[in-house]
Amino acid sequence: MSQSRIYYFDNNATTRVAPEVFDAMKPFLTEMWGNPSSAYAFGSIVGKHVDQARAQVAALINADAKEVVFTSCGTESNNSAIHSALVTNPTKKHVITTAVEHSANINYCEFLQKQGYQVTFLPVDADGSLDLHLLDKAIRPDTAIVSIMWANNETGVVFPIEEIAAICRSKNVLFHTDATQVPGKMKIDVKALGVDFLTLSAHKLHAPKGIGLLYVKRRTKYQPYLIGGHQERGKRGGTENVANIVAFGKAAELAVEHLADENVRVRALRDRLENTILKTIPNTFRNGAKEPRLPNTTNIAFEFVEAEAILLLLDQVGICASSGSACTTGSLDPSHVLTAMGLTPMRARGCVRFSLGIYNTDEDVDYVLTHLSKIITKLRDISPLNPSHPDNNNYDIEAARVKHETDLAEALAEKDETIAA
Ligand SMILES: *Cc1c(COP(=O)(O)O)cnc(C)c1O
């Protein structure tokens, strides 16, 4: 790549390690390499730093430190919560989740189906929202756990977790939420939310990859996913990943400080990017509800072009963005999130997600806008998908928007939304 710098718009895939976070973790890769479980001072001093990090991440989510279990990643946390609910409730064989979860959840649920469990995947509507009546109807006496993400990594759409938790509580069913996209963007208070389990992953909040946490509400029955030593108060075997844990603690502190920047400055950058694209590039549509939505995320459908081609040309000028989730890239299937919202596979293949972060600037947004409109024009000129090469000057944006919404509603109406009784 010839660019001297990167224009990074893929913060929902991973984030840059903050310099402060790197400084905090460094000593635990060099001189302070003891085992935190060892009794002698060289180990126990390291243990004190693990304790401190546990208090820092607990403060981020308003949990008690004892309710925090460090894991290797968000995927492990998601799998662990559902696994524990099933193993501690052996007569219950039913799980409820949604059609738009991260693959770290959806693929585990599909695995469970193959093991003989029953899973209900709740549908979403055209703007990616859930119908909570369907959740209410789907809960059965043999439902072990409901697992629903807080904010969608592809569209940024935010689900009403407090209401969902209340429904689950009234029916005595455990509730887990994958909150991986939330820190630094919305305030997290597990006590106010009323959740039993909550997942975070540090590499989405400016700490390294390979460290996550599972919040386990006090007095919740818990069966470890990794069985081994007594680490994590018996909830997760394996010697602690000390440097990463310390990094996570520092990043948790920074995430609280970043709330204002994400919600004011980054939101304004995102809105300018989104509004300018929708206004100046014809045949473009936002995927997902405008609000409530993460302040950093926009997912846009570009008709008549393949997202893979857009991303390739963006990459050539140093811009990092993505189609759907990094975890599904490489498969030719269109995004399961967008198809669940009623987009046709063809339209879903033309969608690009831009996810901004604290290191983005106005200049970055200008750079993307300049290149993107040229790239789309170029691709549409040669696109076999473009039936009419529409005359951009006479383009009626409002009529196209209405048509897009009608198309979505029709596609959804055709889908069988009945939930297995
Ligand atoms: C990134 C992400 C995950 C997976 O986290 P890992 O630490 O990469 O395993 C899970 N859920 C959501 C919503 C994510 O964005």
CATH of residue 49:
3.40.640.10
Q: What are phi and psi of 133, to 5 degrees?
A: -60, -35
Kindly give the interhelix angle for 103-114 and 74-88, rounded to the nearest 10 degrees: 40
Span 231-240, pLDDT tens digits: 999 999 999 9
Q: Which atom of ligand 1 is nearest to the CA of 211?
A: 7
Query: Best substitution site from 14, 152, 204, 353 to test ligand 1's pocket, by max atoms within 8 Å of Cβ?
Result: 204
Say yes or no to pLDDT of 143 above 70: yes
Which residues does ligand 1 sit against, CB inside 6 Å?
Answer: 12, 73-75, 102, 104, 149, 153, 178, 180-181, 201, 203-204, 212
Span 28-47, pLDDT tens digits: 999 999 999 999 999 999 99
3-state secondary structure of 122: strand
Q: Could you tell me if 313 and 244 lie in one domain?
A: no
CB neighbourhood size of 113 (10 A): 12
Query: For the purposes of burial, counting CB atoms within 10 Å of the CB of 59, is it exposed (0-12), middle (13-18) or buried (19 or more)?
Result: middle
Which range of residues forms the domain containing residue 267?
A: 7-14+259-420
- Where a domain ends, among 229, 255, 281? 255
Rounded Cα–Cα distance for residues 224 and 290 (Å): 39
Q: Could you tell me if 116 and 192 lie in one domain?
A: yes
Q: Could you tell me if 299 and 318 lie in one domain?
A: yes
Span 259-276, pLDDT tens digits: 999 999 999 999 999 999
Residue 397 lies in a domain: yes
Alpha-carbon distances, residue 322 vs 11, 348, 349, 354 (angstroms): 10, 13, 11, 7
Total number of domains in the chain: 2
Q: Where are the beta strands (DSSP E) in 252-296?
A: 284-286
- Where a domain ends, among 232, 255, 278? 255
* Closest listed residue to residue 157, CA positions, set 346, 343, 295: 295
Q: Could you tell me if 248 and 292 lie in one domain?
A: no
Residue 250 lies in a domain: yes
What is the token pair recorded at 197?
């389990």
Rounded Cα–Cα distance for residues 217 and 229 (Å): 21
Task: Give residue 1's pLDDT band: very low, low, confident or very high (50, 70, 90).
Answer: very low
Indicate the pTM of the whole model: 0.91
Residue 365 lies in a domain: yes
Rounded Cα–Cα distance for residues 276 and 420 (Å): 43
Q: Could you tell me if 69 and 114 lie in one domain?
A: yes
Span 205-238, pLDDT tens digits: 999 999 999 999 999 999 999 999 999 999 999 9
Q: What are phi and psi of 122, to 5 degrees?
A: -65, 135
Token pair 């400084």: residue: 23
Residue 1 lies in a domain: no
Q: Could you tell me if 80 and 177 lie in one domain?
A: yes
Residue 287 lies in a domain: yes
User: How many A from CA of 110 to the centre of ligand 1?
Assistant: 17
- Where a domain ends, among 239, 255, 271? 255
Question: Cβ distance 179 to 200 under 8 Å?
Answer: yes
Tell me the one-letter amino acid at 248.
F
Rounded Cα–Cα distance for residues 370 and 368 (Å): 5
Q: Could you tell me if 75 and 145 lie in one domain?
A: yes
Average pLDDT over residues 245-258: 98
Q: Could you tell me if 285 and 373 lie in one domain?
A: yes
Q: Could you tell me if 238 and 270 lie in one domain?
A: no
Task: Give residue 410's pLDDT band: very low, low, confident or very high (50, 70, 90).
Answer: confident
Enumerate the active-site residues.
327
User: How many A from CA of 167 to the centre of ligand 1?
Assistant: 25
Say yes or no to pLDDT of 93 above 80: yes
Q: Could you tell me if 217 and 267 lie in one domain?
A: no
Residue 400 lies in a domain: yes
Question: Cβ distance 247 to 24 under 8 Å?
Answer: yes
Residue 310 lies in a domain: yes
Q: Give long-range contacts, CB 8 A cutoff, 24+ apart: 24-30.
A: 24/246, 24/247, 24/249, 24/250, 25/208, 25/243, 25/244, 25/246, 25/247, 25/250, 26/243, 28/242, 28/243, 28/246, 29/243
User: How many A from CA of 74 to the centre of ligand 1?
Assistant: 5
Average pLDDT taken over every residue of the chain? 92
Q: Could you tell me if 157 and 278 lie in one domain?
A: no
CATH number at residue 408: 3.90.1150.10
**Rg (the chain; Cα; Å):** 22
First to last CA, the chain: 54
Return the pLDDT at 382. 85
Tell me the one-letter amino acid at 1.
M
Tell me the one-letter amino acid at 189.
D
Rounded Cα–Cα distance for residues 322 and 310 (Å): 9
Rounded Cα–Cα distance for residues 279 and 297 (Å): 18
Residue 2 lies in a domain: no
Q: Could you tell me if 372 and 282 lie in one domain?
A: yes
Say yes or no to pLDDT of 12 above 90: yes
Say yes or no to pLDDT of 192 above 80: yes
Q: What are phi and psi of 298, to 5 degrees?
A: -140, 140
